[in-house]
Amino acid sequence: MSNKVKEIAIIPNLTKDSDFSATNKIAELAHINGVSALIDSEYADKVKFANGASYEELNNAQLIVVLGGDGTLLSAVHRFSDTKAAFLGINYGNLGFLTEIEKDMPEQFVEILNGHYGVSEHLTIEVSLNGKTYTALNDATLHRDAVSSMIKFSVAVGGEHLYSSSADGIIVSTPTGSTAYSLSAGGPIVDPTIDAVILSLICPHDLNSRSVIVPTGKEIALVVTNAVGNSAVNIDGRIAVNVKNGDVITINAGKKVKLVRLSDSFFYKRLKQKLF
């Protein structure tokens, strides 16, 4: 793709960049390359080469540039859930499976500003519980109370009962989230461009449990049959919703989130760097 960027919205990381030095470098690079930079009006006086903007103006930028690790990018995706922009993650964190470039690679940022980049579309899931719907880019996890015994639940796919389980919980993951919590629970690594949802049990009371990969056209339903204390559904590790006996959690494929990529083989390069 070669389509010079005209405007970016910068989302700073107030923990990793408390003095806004990294944010200022990004804004200055944009300015030098003829790109307008926007930042939340609250921080405008701290960033020389960026203009203060409202949520709507940030949401309508061509690219949303996020400084931080995967957690910061996930927060930005949740905040700007209805944007048409693509997200560019600049990694100031650790693992960085969602982020595209590292903090010490300004030449790659300039390459992107000049329009030399692609866009990868990543599936989200819509998680519905008690009349409310939540969007997850990585995963939704049904889990037991921290001090209670196992949680019991049943799983149905496409209206067909699949199994009932006693476990610490279950992870319903997108392919993007397959390298996150799902991987730690023994789930498969799935190319993030594949349209599928992964079910992985957490410490099940069953020696024969296996992950299941479900096509996006089938609704997944979790029915809680025995929950104690503060058992909950956790959305992308950021939103927790308590559950009780009899609650039904339904999961369906959601819209896709666009992430900036410099290479079609990004995912496999990152796997080699981070996991193998």
Q: Which residues participate in catalysis according to the annotation?
A: 70
- Residue 32 has φ and ψ, to the nearest 5°, of -60, -35
- Could you tell me which residues are beta bridge partners of residue 171? 141, 200
Tell me the C-alpha to C-alpha distance, in Å, between residue 12 and each of 62, 65, 145, 257, 264: 17, 9, 34, 20, 27
Closest CA to 80 of 60, 98, 53: 60
Read off the tokens for 260. 């900036």
- Residue 72 has φ and ψ, to the nearest 5°, of -65, -40
DSSP per-residue codes, 4-53? ---EEEEE--TTTTTT-HHHHHHHHHHHHTT-EEEEEGGGGGG-TT-EEE
- Asked whether 12 and 43 are in contact (CB, 8 A), the reply is yes
